[in-house]
Amino acid sequence: MDRRYFGTDGIRGRVGEYPITADFVLKLGWAAGRVLGDRPGSGQVLIGKDTRLSNYMFESALEAGLSAAGVNIQLLGPMPTPAIAYLTRTLRANAGIVISASHNSHQDNGIKFFSADGFKLDDEAELAIEAHLERPLETVDSAALGKASRLMDAPGRYIEFCKHTLAPGLGLHGLTLVVDCANGAGYQVAPAVFEELGARVIRRGTRPDGLNINVDCGSTCPAGLQHAVLEAGADAGIALDGDGDRLIMVDERGHTLDGDQLLWVIARSRQRAGRLSGPVVGTQMSNLGLELALDGLGVAFHRARVGDRYVLEMLQAHHGQLGGESSGHIVCLDRTTTGDGVVSALQVLAAAVEQNASLSQVADGMDKLPQHMINVPIARGSNPMNDPRVTAAVRDVEGVLGSAGRVLLRPSGTEPVLRVMVEGEDAGSVRAHAEALASQVAGLCQPQARASSGD
């Protein structure tokens, strides 16, 4: 069945524009309570949030809706998305709800759910919630209304969990780290994790005001972190996004390491220690350099659709433990159930500590190949990938690139464009092939194409 509200990561949109409105979120809370409240568990639903100003409104709306459905609520306050997943599982809650729009600005917001096992809701549950949203809201008897309480030790519980994802006795003593929390959900807990493991922490992006989440800081804007690392002579920089599930790092030379490079560090470290199980999973957008580097180690690499949800599904299907996206969503299934920026950073730092090496040294061995992507506007509902002229043009470019390059045509999930991406060894030829291919596609799909990103 087609979803009306749920996307690949919950429900998201502009604050004040349907469905991200107070009345809809109240109804959503009621619908979720009706569907999830009767599932096995403690009878409670947890609510966490990031630092957006609008979260005061949406937290209250969810609380009211859940109460009307007769479900008890525990409020966690500002906490990273992966912390909600962890606490939902360990507290035996029926479900966890996160109010966040991740790496977006404060004008956006969203609602996402975790089931009792700490994984994102399955299709059946999401469709059941959508079905209840079409029904009239019916409040339970006043004696059966849900109660709300606040879990005061939520930050401490999550901090201890993160610390214990390192091997016993392994610490970060002697390291200087710049930790950028994007003025988001990790601003309290993330620096504390690294400090309690022995590192000297320089804090950045830890003064949220409700409006500055992800503004000139965090994983989507690492330039300030690069400068801070060099200025302090730090060993590494750690950049989270607004809800703490993405990670970008900066090495001691001031060079950024994206999700593909961090995945390489963790995978090679575990493979060397004999602790890598199953294939590594990336996405269609993962750099070919990662695939080639892993192949050199004899490690299988699978590509899922773009989205951490699909990475997780493929990991489970192939009994893997490690996967992620270029954007910094990294899933370590032997540690937790979802992408976690803090936990992922700890796995990278552990690799450096265990090898007595710098971050740049443990990241060595994977060479990113140049990529160039162009967005080609297309008519809604059209599929130029089925046009034999397009498939022939793609085959021609693939023939020239050979095994050292690839072509990807992917429709956007949010706008009427076809993303044309070419990847190969030489940046100039990659750009030329991408522009030529995009021009051919654009000739079949008026209006003209527009370039969207560089190498």
Distances (CA, A) of 248 to 105, 166, 221, 436: 18, 19, 10, 32
**Tokens describing residue 209:** 């005001």
What is the pLDDT at residue 445?
67
Q: Do 242 and 272 reside in the same domain of the chain?
A: no
| Number of domains the chain is built from | 4
Last residue of a domain, one of 253, 272, 299: 253
Q: Do 17 and 41 reside in the same domain of the chain?
A: yes
| Rounded Cα–Cα distance for residues 153 and 237 (Å) | 28
Pairing outcome for strands 236-240 and 108-115 = unpaired
Cα within 13 Å of Cα(75), Cβ side: 18
Rg, Å, the chain Cα set: 23
Answer for the pair 185, 100: CB distance below 8 angstroms, yes or no. Answer: yes
Angle at alpha carbon of residue 82, lines to 178 and 334, rounded to 5°? 95
The whole-angstrom distance between residue 198's C-alpha and the CA centroid of its chain comes to 27
Nearest to 324 by CA among 218, 245, 217: 245
Which residues make beta-bridge pairs with 202?
178
Q: Do 418 and 405 reside in the same domain of the chain?
A: yes
Last residue of a domain, one of 353, 368, 383: 368
Is residue 167 in some structural domain? no
> Is cis: bond before 19, omega within 30 of 0?
yes
Answer for the pair 54, 109: CB distance below 8 angstroms, yes or no. Answer: yes
What is the pLDDT at residue 3?
82
What is the pLDDT at residue 446?
56
Q: Do 237 and 314 reside in the same domain of the chain?
A: no
428: domain CATH number is 3.30.310.50
| Rounded Cα–Cα distance for residues 169 and 189 (Å) | 21
Nearest to 79 by CA among 307, 240, 270, 317: 240
What is the pLDDT at residue 1?
56
Catalytic residues: 102
Single pTM value for the model: 0.92
Answer for the pair 251, 262: CB distance below 8 angstroms, yes or no. Answer: no
The whole-angstrom distance between residue 246's C-alpha and the CA centroid of its chain comes to 5
Q: Do 262 and 340 reside in the same domain of the chain?
A: yes
Q: Do 113 and 20 reside in the same domain of the chain?
A: yes
Pairing outcome for strands 371-377 and 450-453 = antiparallel
181: domain CATH number is 3.40.120.10
Q: Do 377 and 361 reside in the same domain of the chain?
A: no
Which residues form the domain of 185?
172-253
Is residue 307 in some structural domain? yes
Nearest to 373 by CA among 311, 441, 305, 309: 441
Nearest to 104 by CA among 9, 204, 226, 206: 9
Is residue 207 in some structural domain? yes
**Helices (H), ranges, 202-340:** 223-232, 259-272, 288-297, 308-317
Q: Would you list the DSSP string of 311-351? A: HHHHHHHTT--EEE-TTSBEEETTT-SS--HHHHHHHHHHH
Q: Do 282 and 378 reside in the same domain of the chain?
A: no
Answer for the pair 201, 193: CB distance below 8 angstroms, yes or no. Answer: no
The DSSP H or E segment spanning 371 is: strand 371-377
What is the pLDDT at residue 447?
44
Is residue 165 in some structural domain? no
Q: Do 36 and 142 reside in the same domain of the chain?
A: yes
Q: How many CB atoms lie within 10 A of CB 107?
A: 15
Is residue 76 in some structural domain? yes
Q: Do 266 and 316 reside in the same domain of the chain?
A: yes
Is residue 161 in some structural domain? no
> Is cis: bond before 447, omega within 30 of 0?
yes
Is residue 5 in some structural domain? no
Q: Do 233 and 274 reside in the same domain of the chain?
A: no
Q: How many CB atoms lie within 10 A of CB 23?
A: 12
Answer for the pair 330, 342: CB distance below 8 angstroms, yes or no. Answer: no
Is residue 326 in some structural domain? yes
Instruction: Print pLDDT tens along the chain (455 aa).
Output: 578 999 888 999 999 999 999 999 999 999 999 999 888 777 899 999 999 999 999 999 999 999 999 999 999 999 999 999 999 999 999 999 999 999 999 999 999 999 999 999 999 999 999 999 999 999 999 999 999 999 999 999 999 999 999 999 999 999 999 999 999 999 999 999 999 999 999 999 999 999 999 999 999 999 999 999 999 999 999 999 999 999 999 999 999 999 999 999 999 999 999 999 999 999 999 999 999 999 999 999 999 998 888 999 999 999 999 999 999 999 999 999 999 999 999 999 999 999 999 999 999 999 999 999 999 998 776 778 888 888 898 999 999 999 889 999 988 766 788 999 999 999 999 999 999 999 988 887 654 444 444 43
Last residue of a domain, one of 90, 124, 152: 152
Q: Do 343 and 281 reside in the same domain of the chain?
A: yes
